[in-house]
Structure 1
Amino acid sequence: MKQLFFLLALLFTSISYAQFNNNSRQRQSFPSPQQQQSPKPKFEVEKYVGIIIYDVEKAAKKTGVKLSSTTGKTFSTTLKNYNKSIKDIERINSFVLKSTKNMVESFQKKAIETGDFSNQPKVMKAMNENLKPVSESIQQEDKAFDAKMKSVLSKKQYLKWIKYNRKLNKTFYK
């Protein structure tokens, strides 16, 4: 009888010890909600301003232009010239773009941490003032580029071109 009681006590102790160790390992493997970090703020200033760099082959495929034809060659040179001018605008205004991006991301990070979004109108106003000259120069370039594309492409190809650009979130100015 003593042996049976001793065996049951030993069995009960080992089972409870095994369950306790298994349960503590499970708690360690799952991170607690406080350990999870909020996502880092990401502001794409190039998208906001409207900077789009085209891939010539993909754009030709989407619009139905054959690059070996004369239309395709003018299409290709027009796109390359546009990409070059947009990259120049981006390079010239790189400091403004980077500083605006840093300003917005730091505000977003601070607002997420503290929960205080009261400075958002000020940040938005400063961002718009900083980026206004850049967006105006890109708009002028886009107007000239759109007029050139309209003359190069046929009506059907131009409609495909507009459809392709809308997928890239580009706006057309009249």
Structure 2
Amino acid sequence: MKNNILILFLLQGFLLLAQEPPKMLKYDAENSANIFYYQIDEVAKKIKVKKEQVKNVTRKALIDYNNKIKDISFLNFQELRELETLINSVGDQVRGNPDLGRKLRKNIEIVILPIRDSIEVHEKKLNSALETILSKRQYKRWLKYQRNQKRSLLPERPRSNNQSIPSNMNRRSNRGRPNSRF
């Protein structure tokens, strides 16, 4: 009898701690296609361009790049919006239906990959133009800035309250070991 009650309590505890799947993140088609624009004045500050001539050439290259990206975005605006509304409306049903997930993934590949490839071509042209203009150190900063801008487009996964780690976890694990702080 005691065992049955104990098992009942344990089972109830496991059911209470069971996690429900996280909610579907809002899909942004422009972010997944790497469509973004560089802030021209911010770039000059971040890569620490001081010579006025180099600043002007850098600004011109960035303005040309931004204009090309605006053209790509304008030409593909309708396709991106349709894809975005489709994924956001059907998103929660994808977990239960793998065929629907495959169809959505195929649709994403058809729409997003050509856009991403054309943007990548323009980025390579921009990078080669900036490489000839900037010093090695400035070009290295430019690549770091560019990488950070692309990372900011990625969606962050939501953290649930159940995944938080207590602050006192493993407090005693280093006791008696060399090189421990305490």
TM class by shorter chain equals 0.5 to 0.7
Q: Determine the structure 1 residue equivalent to 2:43.
A: 59
Query: What is the alpha-carbon distance in structure 1 between the residues aligned to residue 136 and residue 24 of structure 2?
Result: 44
Larger of the two Rg values belongs to structure: 1
Determine the structure 2 residue equivalent to 1:45: 29
Other-structure match for 2:166: none
- Matched residue of 2:150: which SS? coil
Whether 1:99 aligns to 2:79 is no
- Whether the 8 Å CA contact 1:41–1:109 is kept in 2: the answer is no
Mark the runs of 5 or more structure 2 residues left unpaired by the alignment. Answer: 1-21, 152-182
Residue 158 of structure 1: how far off its partner (Å) = 0.2
The equivalent of 1:163 in structure 2 is 144
* Paired amino acid for 2:101: Q
Paired amino acid for 1:166: R
SS in 2 for 1:169: helix
Q: Distance in 1 between matches of 2:84 and 2:134?
A: 36
Aligned twin of 2:73: 90
Q: Give the percent of matched residue pairs that are identical in Structure 1 and Structure 2.
A: 26
Aligned counterpart, 1:27: none
Q: CA RMSD in A?
A: 1.9
User: Paired residue for 2:7?
Assistant: none
- Compare the two structures and name the one with the higher helix fraction: 1
**Amino acid corresponding to residue 164 of structure 1 in structure 2:** Y
Letter in 2 for 1:53: Y
Runs of at least 5 residues in structure 1 that lack an aligned partner in the other structure: 1-37
Q: Which has the higher contact order (CA 8 A, sep 6+)?
A: 2
Query: Could you tell me the TM-score, scaled by structure 1's length?
Result: 0.68
Greater than 6 Å deviation, 4+ residue runs: none
Q: CA deviation at 1:71?
A: 0.2
Which residue is 2:158 aligned to? none
CA distance in 2, matches of 1:150, 1:45: 30
The residue that corresponds to 1:137 in the other structure is: 118
Q: Number of residues paired by the alignment?
A: 129
TM-score relative to the length of structure 2: 0.65
